[in-house]
Amino acid sequence: MGYYLSILIIISESGPKTCDYDNLRRSSGTFRVKFLDRAKAFLKAGDGGDGCASFRREKFIEYGGPDGGDGGNGGSIYFEGTNRLNTLIDYRYQPHFKGKRGGNGGGANRHGANGDDLVLKVPVGTQVLDETEENTLADILEEGQKVLIVRGGTGGRGNNRFKSSTNQAPRRADAGGIGEEMTLWLQLKLIADVGLVGMPNAGKSTFLAVTTRAKPKIADYPFTTLIPQLGVVRVDADEFVLADIPGLIEGAHDGKGLGHKFLAHMERCSLLLHILDATREDLYNAYATVRQELEIYRRDLGEKPEIIVLNKCDSLEPHEVIKRRMVFEKKCRRRVWTISSLRPDEEIVFLLREIVAVRKSLLAAHVEVPVSADAN
Protein backbone atom coordinates (compact mmCIF):
# COMPACT_ATOMS: atom_id res chain seq x y z
CA MET A 1 0.00 0.00 0.00
CA GLY A 2 1.04 3.64 0.04
CA TYR A 3 2.77 5.69 2.71
CA TYR A 4 0.55 7.39 5.25
CA LEU A 5 2.74 9.45 7.53
CA SER A 6 1.73 12.44 9.55
CA ILE A 7 1.99 14.14 12.93
CA LEU A 8 -1.23 14.63 14.80
CA ILE A 9 0.09 15.84 18.17
CA ILE A 10 0.74 19.16 19.83
CA ILE A 11 3.47 19.59 22.41
CA SER A 12 2.19 21.49 25.42
CA GLU A 13 3.15 21.87 29.06
CA SER A 14 1.09 18.83 29.94
CA GLY A 15 2.82 16.76 27.27
CA PRO A 16 1.65 15.47 23.93
CA LYS A 17 -2.05 15.13 23.29
CA THR A 18 -4.13 14.21 20.29
CA CYS A 19 -6.02 16.93 18.52
CA ASP A 20 -8.31 17.53 15.59
CA TYR A 21 -7.68 19.79 12.62
CA ASP A 22 -9.53 22.81 13.99
CA ASN A 23 -7.70 22.68 17.33
CA LEU A 24 -4.42 22.35 15.46
CA ARG A 25 -5.11 25.49 13.45
CA ARG A 26 -6.22 27.50 16.48
CA SER A 27 -3.36 26.47 18.74
CA SER A 28 -0.39 26.64 16.40
CA GLY A 29 -1.58 28.82 13.54
CA THR A 30 -0.21 26.25 11.08
CA PHE A 31 -1.61 23.13 9.54
CA ARG A 32 0.55 20.26 8.32
CA VAL A 33 -1.04 18.27 5.54
CA LYS A 34 -0.61 14.50 5.69
CA PHE A 35 1.40 12.98 2.87
CA LEU A 36 0.01 10.04 0.93
CA ASP A 37 1.46 9.02 -2.41
CA ARG A 38 -0.79 6.07 -3.15
CA ALA A 39 -4.57 5.68 -2.98
CA LYS A 40 -7.39 3.52 -4.30
CA ALA A 41 -10.51 5.06 -5.83
CA PHE A 42 -13.88 3.78 -7.05
CA LEU A 43 -15.49 5.79 -9.86
CA LYS A 44 -18.99 5.46 -11.26
CA ALA A 45 -20.15 7.76 -14.06
CA GLY A 46 -23.75 8.91 -14.12
CA ASP A 47 -26.34 6.85 -15.97
CA GLY A 48 -28.22 8.39 -18.87
CA GLY A 49 -31.81 9.55 -18.35
CA ASP A 50 -34.68 7.54 -19.80
CA GLY A 51 -36.47 8.61 -22.96
CA CYS A 52 -40.14 9.54 -22.74
CA ALA A 53 -43.06 7.93 -24.54
CA SER A 54 -45.84 10.52 -24.85
CA PHE A 55 -48.23 11.95 -27.43
CA ARG A 56 -49.30 15.49 -28.24
CA ARG A 57 -52.79 16.13 -26.93
CA GLU A 58 -54.23 19.55 -27.70
CA LYS A 59 -57.68 20.85 -28.45
CA PHE A 60 -58.62 20.84 -32.12
CA ILE A 61 -55.54 18.76 -33.01
CA GLU A 62 -56.87 15.37 -34.02
CA TYR A 63 -53.57 13.54 -34.65
CA GLY A 64 -50.93 15.11 -32.43
CA GLY A 65 -48.39 12.38 -32.92
CA PRO A 66 -45.50 11.40 -30.63
CA ASP A 67 -43.67 14.11 -28.70
CA GLY A 68 -41.56 12.20 -26.17
CA GLY A 69 -38.15 13.81 -25.59
CA ASP A 70 -34.75 12.18 -25.14
CA GLY A 71 -33.11 11.62 -21.77
CA GLY A 72 -30.03 13.58 -20.76
CA ASN A 73 -26.52 12.16 -20.79
CA GLY A 74 -24.99 11.09 -17.51
CA GLY A 75 -22.10 13.04 -16.00
CA SER A 76 -18.56 11.84 -16.79
CA ILE A 77 -15.64 11.86 -14.35
CA TYR A 78 -12.31 13.54 -15.11
CA PHE A 79 -8.98 13.90 -13.31
CA GLU A 80 -7.31 17.30 -13.51
CA GLY A 81 -3.76 18.15 -12.46
CA THR A 82 -3.09 21.01 -10.05
CA ASN A 83 0.01 22.41 -8.40
CA ARG A 84 -2.03 23.35 -5.33
CA LEU A 85 -1.90 19.78 -4.05
CA ASN A 86 1.06 17.58 -3.15
CA THR A 87 -0.69 14.60 -1.56
CA LEU A 88 -3.45 12.10 -2.30
CA ILE A 89 -4.76 12.12 1.26
CA ASP A 90 -8.24 13.29 0.20
CA TYR A 91 -8.78 10.00 -1.61
CA ARG A 92 -8.11 8.03 1.55
CA TYR A 93 -11.08 9.59 3.36
CA GLN A 94 -13.37 9.67 0.31
CA PRO A 95 -12.51 6.90 -2.15
CA HIS A 96 -15.96 6.65 -3.79
CA PHE A 97 -17.09 9.11 -6.46
CA LYS A 98 -20.29 9.01 -8.50
CA GLY A 99 -21.30 11.16 -11.46
CA LYS A 100 -24.73 12.77 -11.65
CA ARG A 101 -27.48 10.92 -13.49
CA GLY A 102 -29.04 12.50 -16.58
CA GLY A 103 -32.61 13.74 -16.36
CA ASN A 104 -35.49 11.85 -17.97
CA GLY A 105 -37.07 13.16 -21.14
CA GLY A 106 -40.52 14.72 -21.02
CA GLY A 107 -43.56 15.42 -23.16
CA ALA A 108 -43.64 18.24 -25.68
CA ASN A 109 -40.22 17.05 -26.89
CA ARG A 110 -38.55 18.19 -23.71
CA HIS A 111 -34.96 16.94 -23.47
CA GLY A 112 -33.74 15.72 -20.09
CA ALA A 113 -30.98 17.70 -18.42
CA ASN A 114 -27.44 16.40 -18.84
CA GLY A 115 -25.75 15.30 -15.64
CA ASP A 116 -22.93 17.57 -14.46
CA ASP A 117 -19.41 16.25 -15.04
CA LEU A 118 -17.31 15.56 -11.96
CA VAL A 119 -13.73 16.92 -12.06
CA LEU A 120 -11.39 15.48 -9.42
CA LYS A 121 -8.22 17.38 -8.59
CA VAL A 122 -4.96 15.46 -8.24
CA PRO A 123 -1.35 16.64 -7.78
CA VAL A 124 0.75 17.12 -10.89
CA GLY A 125 2.80 13.96 -11.30
CA THR A 126 -0.04 11.55 -10.55
CA GLN A 127 -0.34 8.32 -12.51
CA VAL A 128 -3.71 6.60 -12.91
CA LEU A 129 -3.46 2.80 -12.94
CA ASP A 130 -6.10 0.14 -13.45
CA GLU A 131 -7.11 -2.22 -10.66
CA THR A 132 -4.45 -4.75 -11.60
CA GLU A 133 -1.80 -1.99 -11.48
CA GLU A 134 -0.38 -3.32 -14.73
CA ASN A 135 -1.74 -0.71 -17.14
CA THR A 136 -1.30 3.06 -16.97
CA LEU A 137 -4.51 4.85 -17.91
CA ALA A 138 -3.16 8.39 -17.61
CA ASP A 139 -0.05 10.27 -16.54
CA ILE A 140 -0.84 13.82 -15.43
CA LEU A 141 2.26 15.98 -15.85
CA GLU A 142 0.96 19.53 -16.29
CA GLU A 143 -1.17 22.06 -14.44
CA GLY A 144 -4.71 22.02 -15.84
CA GLN A 145 -4.25 18.75 -17.76
CA LYS A 146 -7.67 17.06 -17.78
CA VAL A 147 -8.15 13.38 -18.54
CA LEU A 148 -11.46 11.56 -19.05
CA ILE A 149 -11.52 8.39 -16.97
CA VAL A 150 -15.12 7.11 -17.03
CA ARG A 151 -17.77 8.30 -19.49
CA GLY A 152 -21.38 8.94 -18.55
CA GLY A 153 -24.20 6.90 -20.04
CA THR A 154 -26.03 8.13 -23.13
CA GLY A 155 -29.56 9.43 -22.68
CA GLY A 156 -32.34 7.16 -23.92
CA ARG A 157 -34.32 8.10 -27.04
CA GLY A 158 -37.91 9.30 -26.74
CA ASN A 159 -40.67 7.92 -28.91
CA ASN A 160 -40.50 10.96 -31.20
CA ARG A 161 -37.27 9.45 -32.54
CA PHE A 162 -39.08 6.38 -33.85
CA LYS A 163 -41.90 7.97 -35.85
CA SER A 164 -42.03 7.19 -39.54
CA SER A 165 -44.51 7.01 -42.38
CA THR A 166 -45.32 3.44 -41.44
CA ASN A 167 -45.18 3.92 -37.66
CA GLN A 168 -46.92 7.16 -36.88
CA ALA A 169 -47.70 6.36 -33.25
CA PRO A 170 -44.62 4.62 -31.81
CA ARG A 171 -44.85 3.58 -28.21
CA ARG A 172 -41.21 2.72 -27.88
CA ALA A 173 -38.82 4.73 -25.68
CA ASP A 174 -35.29 3.64 -24.72
CA ALA A 175 -33.85 3.47 -21.23
CA GLY A 176 -30.76 5.52 -20.53
CA GLY A 177 -27.34 3.96 -20.98
CA ILE A 178 -25.35 2.71 -18.00
CA GLY A 179 -22.42 4.91 -17.00
CA GLU A 180 -18.96 3.37 -16.92
CA GLU A 181 -17.48 2.37 -13.57
CA MET A 182 -13.97 1.50 -12.57
CA THR A 183 -11.75 0.69 -9.62
CA LEU A 184 -8.31 2.22 -10.00
CA TRP A 185 -5.13 3.18 -8.19
CA LEU A 186 -3.56 6.63 -7.99
CA GLN A 187 0.24 6.78 -7.70
CA LEU A 188 1.95 10.11 -7.05
CA LYS A 189 5.47 10.50 -8.42
CA LEU A 190 6.93 13.89 -7.63
CA ILE A 191 8.30 15.84 -10.58
CA ALA A 192 11.86 16.92 -9.88
CA ASP A 193 14.98 17.50 -11.97
CA VAL A 194 17.55 16.15 -9.50
CA GLY A 195 17.06 13.51 -6.82
CA LEU A 196 19.02 13.14 -3.58
CA VAL A 197 19.85 9.55 -2.64
CA GLY A 198 22.02 8.06 0.07
CA MET A 199 22.02 6.30 3.40
CA PRO A 200 20.28 7.76 6.45
CA ASN A 201 22.02 10.61 8.28
CA ALA A 202 24.29 11.43 5.33
CA GLY A 203 23.28 15.10 5.36
CA LYS A 204 20.80 15.09 2.48
CA SER A 205 18.20 17.19 4.31
CA THR A 206 20.86 19.68 5.40
CA PHE A 207 22.03 20.01 1.81
CA LEU A 208 18.42 20.61 0.71
CA ALA A 209 17.94 23.26 3.40
CA VAL A 210 21.19 25.05 2.51
CA THR A 211 20.65 25.13 -1.25
CA THR A 212 16.90 25.83 -1.29
CA ARG A 213 14.24 27.54 0.80
CA ALA A 214 12.80 24.20 1.88
CA LYS A 215 12.58 23.58 5.63
CA PRO A 216 13.06 19.82 6.09
CA LYS A 217 13.41 18.32 9.53
CA ILE A 218 17.09 18.02 10.50
CA ALA A 219 18.43 16.00 13.44
CA ASP A 220 21.46 13.90 14.39
CA TYR A 221 19.72 10.53 14.14
CA PRO A 222 18.82 8.28 11.18
CA PHE A 223 15.52 8.48 9.30
CA THR A 224 14.83 12.11 10.15
CA THR A 225 13.23 12.43 6.71
CA LEU A 226 10.01 10.43 6.65
CA ILE A 227 8.38 11.85 3.51
CA PRO A 228 9.76 13.27 0.24
CA GLN A 229 10.74 16.94 0.26
CA LEU A 230 11.07 19.34 -2.68
CA GLY A 231 13.03 22.57 -3.08
CA VAL A 232 14.00 24.91 -5.92
CA VAL A 233 17.73 25.56 -6.37
CA ARG A 234 18.73 28.85 -7.97
CA VAL A 235 22.29 29.25 -9.16
CA ASP A 236 23.36 32.14 -11.38
CA ALA A 237 20.59 32.47 -14.01
CA ASP A 238 19.49 28.83 -13.80
CA GLU A 239 17.22 26.88 -11.49
CA PHE A 240 16.15 23.28 -10.98
CA VAL A 241 13.92 21.29 -8.63
CA LEU A 242 15.69 19.13 -6.04
CA ALA A 243 13.95 16.18 -4.34
CA ASP A 244 14.97 14.45 -1.11
CA ILE A 245 13.63 11.05 -0.06
CA PRO A 246 14.15 8.93 3.08
CA GLY A 247 17.51 7.21 3.32
CA LEU A 248 18.14 3.69 2.03
CA ILE A 249 19.75 0.90 4.01
CA GLU A 250 20.76 -2.62 3.12
CA GLY A 251 17.67 -4.77 2.73
CA ALA A 252 15.34 -1.84 1.96
CA HIS A 253 13.81 -3.93 -0.83
CA ASP A 254 12.73 -6.42 1.88
CA GLY A 255 11.06 -3.66 3.90
CA LYS A 256 13.93 -2.78 6.21
CA GLY A 257 14.08 0.83 7.37
CA LEU A 258 11.38 2.71 5.48
CA GLY A 259 11.62 0.35 2.51
CA HIS A 260 12.29 1.54 -1.02
CA LYS A 261 8.81 2.48 -2.29
CA PHE A 262 9.78 6.15 -2.05
CA LEU A 263 12.16 5.53 -4.96
CA ALA A 264 9.13 5.96 -7.22
CA HIS A 265 9.66 9.70 -6.73
CA MET A 266 13.13 9.40 -8.28
CA GLU A 267 11.86 7.93 -11.55
CA ARG A 268 11.15 11.31 -13.14
CA CYS A 269 14.54 12.80 -12.17
CA SER A 270 17.08 13.24 -14.95
CA LEU A 271 20.04 13.17 -12.54
CA LEU A 272 20.83 11.60 -9.16
CA LEU A 273 22.95 13.29 -6.50
CA HIS A 274 24.44 10.56 -4.32
CA ILE A 275 25.49 11.99 -0.95
CA LEU A 276 27.76 10.03 1.41
CA ASP A 277 28.92 10.67 4.96
CA ALA A 278 32.69 11.25 4.61
CA THR A 279 33.27 10.24 8.24
CA ARG A 280 32.22 6.63 7.58
CA GLU A 281 34.99 4.07 7.54
CA ASP A 282 33.15 1.92 4.99
CA LEU A 283 32.52 4.58 2.37
CA TYR A 284 32.55 2.31 -0.64
CA ASN A 285 30.34 -0.30 1.03
CA ALA A 286 27.78 2.40 1.82
CA TYR A 287 27.92 3.58 -1.79
CA ALA A 288 27.57 0.04 -3.14
CA THR A 289 24.62 -0.67 -0.82
CA VAL A 290 22.61 2.28 -2.13
CA ARG A 291 23.50 1.45 -5.72
CA GLN A 292 22.33 -2.13 -5.18
CA GLU A 293 19.00 -1.00 -3.75
CA LEU A 294 18.47 1.34 -6.72
CA GLU A 295 19.04 -1.45 -9.22
CA ILE A 296 16.89 -3.95 -7.31
CA TYR A 297 13.99 -1.49 -7.31
CA ARG A 298 14.35 -0.65 -10.99
CA ARG A 299 17.29 -1.33 -13.23
CA ASP A 300 16.84 1.79 -15.33
CA LEU A 301 16.88 3.84 -12.12
CA GLY A 302 20.41 2.63 -11.46
CA GLU A 303 21.38 3.66 -14.99
CA LYS A 304 20.54 7.33 -14.51
CA PRO A 305 23.44 9.82 -14.56
CA GLU A 306 24.92 10.31 -11.10
CA ILE A 307 27.11 12.81 -9.24
CA ILE A 308 28.87 11.51 -6.10
CA VAL A 309 29.39 13.84 -3.14
CA LEU A 310 31.25 13.32 0.15
CA ASN A 311 29.51 15.41 2.81
CA LYS A 312 30.48 16.40 6.39
CA CYS A 313 34.07 17.03 5.35
CA ASP A 314 34.34 19.71 8.06
CA SER A 315 34.55 16.87 10.60
CA LEU A 316 37.84 15.66 9.12
CA GLU A 317 41.28 17.15 8.69
CA PRO A 318 41.98 18.46 5.17
CA HIS A 319 44.62 15.84 4.47
CA GLU A 320 42.24 13.09 5.61
CA VAL A 321 39.55 14.38 3.24
CA ILE A 322 41.98 14.30 0.31
CA LYS A 323 43.13 10.80 1.21
CA ARG A 324 39.59 9.42 1.49
CA ARG A 325 38.50 11.06 -1.73
CA MET A 326 41.45 9.61 -3.67
CA VAL A 327 40.86 6.10 -2.30
CA PHE A 328 37.16 6.31 -3.06
CA GLU A 329 37.71 7.66 -6.59
CA LYS A 330 40.09 4.81 -7.29
CA LYS A 331 37.46 2.25 -6.24
CA CYS A 332 34.44 3.71 -8.02
CA ARG A 333 36.41 5.18 -10.96
CA ARG A 334 34.33 8.33 -10.84
CA ARG A 335 34.94 11.95 -9.92
CA VAL A 336 33.96 12.65 -6.32
CA TRP A 337 33.02 16.04 -4.87
CA THR A 338 33.78 17.05 -1.28
CA ILE A 339 31.58 19.55 0.59
CA SER A 340 30.30 20.50 4.02
CA SER A 341 26.61 21.37 4.14
CA LEU A 342 26.99 22.91 7.60
CA ARG A 343 29.63 25.33 6.33
CA PRO A 344 28.49 26.43 2.87
CA ASP A 345 31.34 27.71 0.74
CA GLU A 346 32.32 28.03 -2.90
CA GLU A 347 32.57 24.23 -3.23
CA ILE A 348 28.80 23.96 -2.98
CA VAL A 349 28.40 26.70 -5.60
CA PHE A 350 30.79 24.84 -7.92
CA LEU A 351 28.82 21.64 -7.32
CA LEU A 352 25.52 23.32 -8.18
CA ARG A 353 27.04 24.74 -11.37
CA GLU A 354 28.24 21.24 -12.25
CA ILE A 355 24.71 19.92 -11.79
CA VAL A 356 23.37 22.62 -14.10
CA ALA A 357 26.06 21.83 -16.69
CA VAL A 358 25.31 18.10 -16.60
CA ARG A 359 21.58 18.71 -16.99
CA LYS A 360 22.19 21.01 -19.96
CA SER A 361 24.46 18.43 -21.58
CA LEU A 362 21.78 15.77 -21.14
CA LEU A 363 19.21 18.02 -22.79
CA ALA A 364 21.59 18.94 -25.59
CA ALA A 365 22.37 15.30 -26.27
CA HIS A 366 18.65 14.46 -26.19
CA VAL A 367 19.28 11.71 -23.71
CA GLU A 368 16.13 9.74 -23.04
CA VAL A 369 15.90 9.56 -19.26
CA PRO A 370 14.64 6.13 -18.18
CA VAL A 371 11.14 6.53 -16.77
CA SER A 372 8.91 3.55 -16.06
CA ALA A 373 5.19 4.04 -16.43
CA ASP A 374 4.32 0.77 -14.75
CA ALA A 375 6.73 0.81 -11.80
CA ASN A 376 4.83 0.94 -8.54
Both 42 and 148 in one domain: the answer is: yes
Domain containing 20: what range? 4-32
Both 213 and 350 in one domain: the answer is: yes
Q: Report the predicted TM-score, pTM, of the whole model to 2 decimal places.
A: 0.75
Contacts of 92 (CB under 8 A, 6+ apart): 4, 36, 39
Domain count, the chain: 3
Both 103 and 150 in one domain: the answer is: yes
Least confident residue range of 6-10, 224-228, 232-236, 370-374: 6-10
Query: Does a structural domain hold residue 373?
Result: no
Both 184 and 207 in one domain: the answer is: no
11 pLDDT band (50/70/90 cuts)? very low
Whether the pLDDT of residue 145 is over 90: the answer is yes
Sign of the alpha-carbon torsion through 186, 208, 212, 8: positive
Query: Does a structural domain hold residue 370?
Result: no
For residue range 108-132, what is the model confidence (pLDDT) as tens digits? Answer: 999 999 999 999 999 999 999 999 9
Query: Does a structural domain hold residue 83?
Result: yes
Whether the pLDDT of residue 26 is over 60: the answer is no
Both 300 and 327 in one domain: the answer is: yes
- 3-state SS, residue 299: helix
In this prediction, residue 22 carries a pLDDT of: 42
Both 179 and 294 in one domain: the answer is: no
- Answer yes or no: are the C-beta atoms of 87 and 128 closer than 8 Å: no
Kind of pairing between the strands at 96-98 and 38-44: parallel
Bridge partners of 10, per DSSP, are 17
In this prediction, residue 353 carries a pLDDT of: 93
The one-letter amino acid code at 99 reads: G
Calpha distance 242→352 (Å, rounded): 11
What is the DSSP-derived secondary structure letter of residue 52?
-
Report the percent of the chain where pLDDT is more than 70. 88
What average pLDDT does range 262-266 have in this prediction?
Answer: 87
- Single out the residue in 156, 188, 220 at which a domain terminates: 188
Whether the pLDDT of residue 375 is over 90: the answer is no
Both 255 and 342 in one domain: the answer is: yes
Both 131 and 62 in one domain: the answer is: yes
Both 43 and 61 in one domain: the answer is: yes
Contacts of 191 (CB under 8 A, 6+ apart): 124, 125, 141, 241, 268
Would you tell me how many other CB atoms lie within 10 Å of the CB of residue 55? 16
Both 15 and 137 in one domain: the answer is: no
Both 261 and 297 in one domain: the answer is: yes
